[in-house]
Structure 1
Amino acid sequence: MSGLNEWDRLGKVVYAESANQSEKIYSTWAKDYEKDVSVLKFVANDSLVKHSFDLIKNDESSLMLDLAAGTGITALAYKNAGYKGICDALEINAAMMEIAKQKGIYRNTICKGVTATDPVPVQQNSYDVVAISGAFLENHLPQGCVPYVVDVLTIGGLMIFNSRNTEHNANYQKILWEIIEGQVNQGRISLLRSVEAPYYEENCPESGKPMTARVAVYKRLK
């Protein structure tokens, strides 16, 4: 993706026409991903940690799943904030996962995708935290995976995620909230926190302003 600026390279995956196309672009972009998002002042993970760290179980027995882990910068943000527990990573893209492995912060790294119709391919009912940053958008994680994400949590475990507030993401987000609300209505989860927080601090081409996201924390009840 040479010859493109950082927003252009980001846009290639955000506006990809299919999940398969998105994954192929990530394979090419992986080596430059962290550099590019740093230039754009990507603060989504800092926001995620800021608005959830006081709620998580934080001791040596705590288990966190970094879902759609990318290059590992979400789990690293928790570790840098003082998270004492164990982290596993689940990521579909092998090139991104290879970079995540090199950080040395994960117990297990699993290179598989997540679907709207199958269980998340990890041990069920076992994680105290599932953290999802930057993946709840079109052609990334399907909204229908939410009940399966809840399944991997312990009772009392937390699903922590962000979803960017952009015009492009509005329809995806609408369906996402509907599915989450369905889980709430079934008594499976309850909302602990929901805030609007910074995502990219550089002005984005779509709005001409810094991008924000909804950061949410849900607790599994049953």
Structure 2
Amino acid sequence: MTELEEWDRLAKVVYAESLERADAVNLLNMAYTELAQNYDKDQSALKAVANESLVEHSLDLISNDELSLMLDIAAGTGNTALVFKNAGYKGICDAIDINATMLEMAKQKRIYRNAICEAVTGTDPLPVQVNCYDFVTVGGAFIENHLPQACVPHIINVLKIGGLLIFNSRSTEKNAKYREILLEILVGQVEQGRIALVRSVEAPYVNRECRETGKPMTALVSVYKRLE
């Protein structure tokens, strides 16, 4: 297995290189099904540290006891929740992901109470109870053809008052426009008094030279608190 092969597989979904038609969501789902068996090994080979960075910059802020509730959105194979658990998170984890194959692999890690196979959209409420979760994580899915930016208000709705939205967003040229719109929506929610920014840190994402820049990839790790 070569690094080129690993980047080629991940490029199908991470960079959405083949998703230019109107049925992008269906194509993405099929691409993740093909990717699932190699996903964890590819992430390791490419020295992905996105989840470690996410946990490093948020674990001290979360509610962390046996009754704490975490919702892992776009959970994939479960690595975000697994890193939280390995770092000392004591609470309960639920997951949402569009891809059944990825989610089945996540279930095998035995970290989730509930694992829901459903798409997160910009128009529909999340398929979980509102005002329920102590924190929500979005690890790596705030990119084009993955989660629509308009899902942010729906994510906020499932948090308890005082609950946290924890996510990363790649600092790359290809992700610049998507992230600009995402931040505009977040600012709008701040201005409405629904959330407040708690932390924003540039952190490592992949510790190997990426195709876009020839340098290790970084991402903005952000934490917002629900106010009302």
After TM superposition, the score normalised by the length of structure 1 is 0.98
Separation in 2, partners of 1:3, 1:189: 41
Q: CA RMSD, aligned part only?
A: 1.2
Any idea what the Cα deviations from partners look like across 1:55-110, whole Å, max 9, x if unmatched? 00000110000111000000000000000000001111000000000000111110
80-89 vs 9-18, which deviates more?
9-18
State the AA in 2 paired with 1:72. G
Asked if 1:5 corresponds to 2:5, the answer is: yes
Separation in 2, partners of 1:10, 1:37: 9
State whether residues 68 and 92 of structure 2, in contact with CA within 8 Å, keep that contact through their aligned partners in structure 1: yes
Separation in 2, partners of 1:46, 1:160: 13
What is the DSSP-based 3-state SS (H/G/I as helix, E as strand, rest coil) of the residue aligned with 1:212? strand
State whether residues 71 and 94 of structure 2, in contact with CA within 8 Å, keep that contact through their aligned partners in structure 1: yes
Separation in 1, partners of 2:182, 2:139: 14
Any idea what the Cα deviations from partners look like across 1:123-180, whole Å, max 9, x if unmatched? 1110001011010000000000000000000000000000001100000000000000
Separation in 1, partners of 2:220, 2:29: 24
Structure 1 gap ranges (5+): none
Aligned to 2:26: 20
Aligned to 1:177: 183
Aligned to 2:111: 105
Structure 2 gap ranges (5+): none
What is the DSSP-based 3-state SS (H/G/I as helix, E as strand, rest coil) of the residue aligned with 2:174? coil
Aligned to 2:215: 209
Asked if 1:61 corresponds to 2:76, the answer is: no
Measured after TM superposition, the shift of residue 19 of structure 1 is 2.3
State the AA in 2 paired with 1:91. D
What is the number of residues matched between the two proteins?
A: 221
What is the DSSP-based 3-state SS (H/G/I as helix, E as strand, rest coil) of the residue aligned with 2:80? helix
- Structure 1 residues 4, 136: CA separation in 2 closer, same or farther (over 3 Å shift)? same
Measured after TM superposition, the shift of residue 4 of structure 1 is 6.0
Measured after TM superposition, the shift of residue 3 of structure 1 is 11
The 5-angstrom pairing of residues 40-119 of structure 1 reads 40-119=46-125
Measured after TM superposition, the shift of residue 10 of structure 1 is 1.0
State the AA in 2 paired with 1:125. N
State whether residues 207 and 217 of structure 2, in contact with CA within 8 Å, keep that contact through their aligned partners in structure 1: yes
- Structure 1 residues 5, 218: CA separation in 2 closer, same or farther (over 3 Å shift)? same
Separation in 2, partners of 1:41, 1:14: 15
State the AA in 1 paired with 2:5. N
Separation in 2, partners of 1:193, 1:15: 27
Aligned to 1:198: 204
Q: Give the share of equivalent positions with the same residue, in percent.
A: 66
